[in-house]
Structure 1
Amino acid sequence: MGGQSQDFLEGYLDGRLLIAMPVMEDERFARSVIYICAHSSEGAMGIIVNRPAGSIDFPELLVQLDIVKDAEQIKLPDQAESMKVLRGGPVETGRGFVLHSSDFFIQDATLPIDDGICLTATVDILKAIAGGTGPKHAILALGYAGWAPGQLENEIQDNGWLHCDADADLIFGDDIEDKYTRALGKLGIEPGMLSAEAGHA
């Protein structure tokens, strides 16, 4: 891994949270909070952390992926039962990406991002969670958000996004509905203070 961090010049946002401005017209990203997993001159990749995947729950997914048999569902550890499944973004929506605390690591599969947060996209982490040996904190996202080189920078310049320091509470918290307001709060902003919100109170 030596020397890899030099690729990330000052000004890249990996390890930070992106917060959609209320003027964001792209429905896929409206009111979204995105954890940036990678950002370099080659583009950016992140996971939306405040969009539930609807009717899919984690135990069901484990059965679909043949990790557990139906009858075994009752034996799942609490963490697997309550694991959040999110809609991580519009790219590769059939693929699962697990954002998790750094107490779990798979050689050559886990990407350490920042400040105790890692990303693993192999089925092995799902097996570990199902078996009770996974990370302490984790969310599973289906799909991710991706930007071409320079695209994210342009969108930020066009006032599409705000960004702030990430924190584990915001990423892994159960209060999915409140994450947008809480992320803005980290910047000292209330949604009503941003002009496009006027009249939508």
Structure 2
Amino acid sequence: MLGAATKGRLLVATPPLDDPNFDRAVVFVIEHDDDGALGVVLNRPIGVVLPGPLERWQDRLTAPACLFEGGPVETHALIALGHRSQRAVADHDDDEHHVLLTGTISSVDLSVDPALVTRLQSLRVFQGYSGWNANQLDAEIEAGGWIVLDAADGDVFTSEPGDLWRQVLARQPGRLSWLAGAPNDLSLN
């Protein structure tokens, strides 16, 4: 099982992925264990502001300051990811409002007053998530549907999510970087 090796890393969809939900998607893996996997698509901004009582967080969002489509599962649910400095993580600042996921990336409790979360450097909110049953993601990776890559600083909170798929691939060594130049319609290649 690949679980521990994918948590906190990126899943980059290989072209063409049969599922339109994941065409040229870049997924940040939040959890991957024996029960399955959960992540959010980083490059699908919806373009709408936060709804209702969550509007108070709107000015804390990282550009583009809108809701993102995290995936096709439970699209009524919201997942908020935040970035804190290494110092804030080491000092355990705001720990009651965050659950550290990996490195400096944490989940953020949107039910609290944003003023209580003082050391947050970036914030992104996702509607829905990407989920896989036990061994499902492992099988998709082994079949070549996903490339597992390390996340660079800034990937989760990029200001240019539409370019993220190409950017992540372009910085890879060797032939893998060639995929960044693949046309949207592979039959044109």
- Fold shared, TM-score > 0.5 on shorter chain: yes
Note the C-alpha offset of 1:174. Answer: 0.7
Note the C-alpha offset of 1:80. Answer: 4.4
Q: Deviations over 1:102-157 (max 9, x none)?
A: 346442x6331212111235422xx417x884611111111110111100000001
Q: Is the counterpart of residue 174 in structure 1 residue 156 in structure 2?
A: no
Please point out which of 172, 184, 187 is paired with 1:187: 172
Please point out which of 128, 133, 136 is paired with 2:114: 128
Q: Deviations over 1:53-97 (max 9, x none)?
A: 13x123xx2xx12655xxxx9xx74x3485332100111211211
In the alignment, structure 2 segments of 5+ residues that lack a partner are none
Q: Deviations over 1:28-75 (max 9, x none)?
A: 111100000001111110011100113x123xx2xx12655xxxx9xx
SS of the residue 2:77 aligns to: strand
Instruction: Report if the CA contact (8 A) 2:81-2:106 is conserved.
Output: yes
Q: How many residues are aligned here? A: 178
SS of the residue 1:12 aligns to: helix
In the alignment, structure 1 segments of 5+ residues that lack a partner are 1-7
Which letter maps to 1:175? Answer: E
Please point out which of 114, 121, 135 is paired with 1:150: 135
Question: What is the CA RMSD across the aligned residues, in angstroms?
Answer: 3.0
Higher Rg of the two aligned structures: 1
CA distance in 1, matches of 2:78, 2:181: 36
SS of the residue 2:167 aligns to: helix
Q: Is the counterpart of residue 163 in structure 1 residue 155 in structure 2?
A: no
Q: Deviations over 1:155-179 (max 9, x none)?
A: 0011100011112311101101110
User: Matches of residues 1-201 of structure 1 in structure 2 within 5 Å?
Assistant: 11-54=4-47, 56-58=48-50, 61=51, 64-65=52-53, 68=56, 77=59, 79-80=60-61, 82=63, 83-102=65-84, 103=88, 105-107=94-96, 110-124=98-112, 127-128=113-114, 133=118, 135-188=120-173, 189-191=177-179, 198-200=186-188
Which letter maps to 1:34? Answer: V
Instruction: Report if the CA contact (8 A) 2:68-2:126 is conserved.
Output: yes
